[in-house]
Structure 1
Amino acid sequence: MRTGQVSVVPSSVIASVSSYEDAHRTVGYLRSYGMDAASLEVVGAGLRRAERQRAIPVARLTGAGALQGALLGVLAAIFVTLVAQTTLTGLAVVVWGFVYGALIGGLWGLFKGLVRNRPDAVSIEIVPTRYEVRCPPEELSIARTLLADAADIDDGRVEREVIADAPQHEPKPRTEKDAA
């Protein structure tokens, strides 16, 4: 980091909550009492690896493919009726475009469902187990005071704890030299 440059990552943890919505609500509460939004940050903590299988039913993929194909077939049929000369009426061309589009789209969806939709294909994600709301150390006492008075935000459903090892700013004891 260059000299004179300020770190943009707040370093003091104000609260640790179990869901992102609760952390967002906490930030909104602090902002409503005048804290600067640029100084507050929500950080995911306690990361873990989650594996999910993403298999979509074959019938659903077939139906979605048929619907998409039918729409493309209708658009192609409208283009043909406007550009080409045919012995069929415009309505017949649109109906045939719908039928052929649905047939080809359905077959494509079936192929995709049978071949590409493998239930053994697993997606791996890194997800946080909790979210921390952070702020600069200068604003820590203000944020703690606001959250201590936050009876309307802490409705009992939220597991909220104020981190105890955050730095405390206590006044220095007065000496005789300061009194003079």
Structure 2
Amino acid sequence: MRPDQVSVVPSSVIASASSFENAQRTVDYLRSYGMDSGSMSIVGAELRQVRKRPRVPVVKLTAAGALHGAVLGLLAGVFVTLVAETTLTGLVVVIWGLVYGGLLGTLWGLFRGLIRNRPEVEITEVVPTRYEVRCPVEELSVARTLLADASDVDDGRVEREVIADAPHEERDAA
């Protein structure tokens, strides 16, 4: 389901997982037994804010900048060799382009690394602590039966716990 779509079918929580991969495995397991994956959804729950400091080593950014600059300088040298008339040979122009591009790229990467890794820069993200697998109310009993059968099988594919406070038909009828 796309993020801008609103679900018109009431859904119930059938399973909870600590990671998105485990929730996806749950959906894959249910889908392998014939449930429609389009009707199921994975929803992040218990959201919390996390502050992270972006840490990319300055050396890594400098090396990447040098590599990108060298490639751009090489391309510029080839372009100048093909288009312009110079007193230098084509090989010398290409080598100068490579060297100057590498130097400029190194400086660019160094400054980028120094600016990016400032101590006062923090990134704030909202991340879920768990993921809920939801399905329409009409398919709830089928999904619960499949998940109950999966808990008896220890094949390592399915790791989840059925939420105890999810609505049950027996409790709701009473």
TM interval, short-chain normalised: 0.7 to 0.9
Structure 2: 5+ residue stretches without partners:
1-5
Q: Are residues 1:168 and 2:169 paired?
A: yes
Q: Are residues 1:65 and 2:103 paired?
A: no
* Residue matched to 1:31: 31
When normalised by structure 2's length, the TM-score is: 0.85
Task: Between 72-81 and 61-70, report the one with greater CA deviation.
Answer: 61-70
Q: Are residues 1:13 and 2:13 paired?
A: yes
* Residue matched to 1:3: none
Change in CA separation of 1:128 and 1:55 when aligned onto 2, cut-off 3 Å? same
Structure 1: 5+ residue stretches without partners:
1-5, 173-180
Name the CA distance, whole Å, in 2 between partners of 1:140 and 1:62: 54
Is this contact kept in 1: 2:26–2:158, CA < 8 A? no
| Corresponding residue SS for 2:125 | strand
The count of residues paired between Structure 1 and Structure 2 equals 166
Name the CA distance, whole Å, in 2 between partners of 1:87 and 1:113: 38
* Residue matched to 2:111: 111
Identity of aligned residues (%): 61
Change in CA separation of 1:45 and 1:118 when aligned onto 2, cut-off 3 Å? same
| Corresponding residue SS for 2:44 | strand
Task: Between 151-160 and 133-142, report the one with greater CA deviation.
Answer: 151-160
Q: CA deviation at 1:9?
A: 5.3
Q: CA deviation at 1:167?
A: 3.2
Name the CA distance, whole Å, in 2 between partners of 1:129 and 1:9: 25
| Corresponding residue SS for 1:37 | coil
Is this contact kept in 2: 1:54–1:119, CA < 8 A? no
- Segments ≥4 residues shifted beyond 4 Å: 151-154
The one-letter code matched in structure 2 to 1:86 is T
Change in CA separation of 1:101 and 1:130 when aligned onto 2, cut-off 3 Å? same
Is this contact kept in 1: 2:51–2:122, CA < 8 A? yes
Q: CA deviation at 1:7?
A: 4.1
Is this contact kept in 2: 1:43–1:132, CA < 8 A? yes
Change in CA separation of 1:25 and 1:40 when aligned onto 2, cut-off 3 Å? same
What is the RMSD computed on CA atoms of the aligned residues? 2.3
Change in CA separation of 1:95 and 1:152 when aligned onto 2, cut-off 3 Å? farther
1:60-94 deviation digits (Å, cap 9, x = unpaired): 22111111110100000010010011122211111
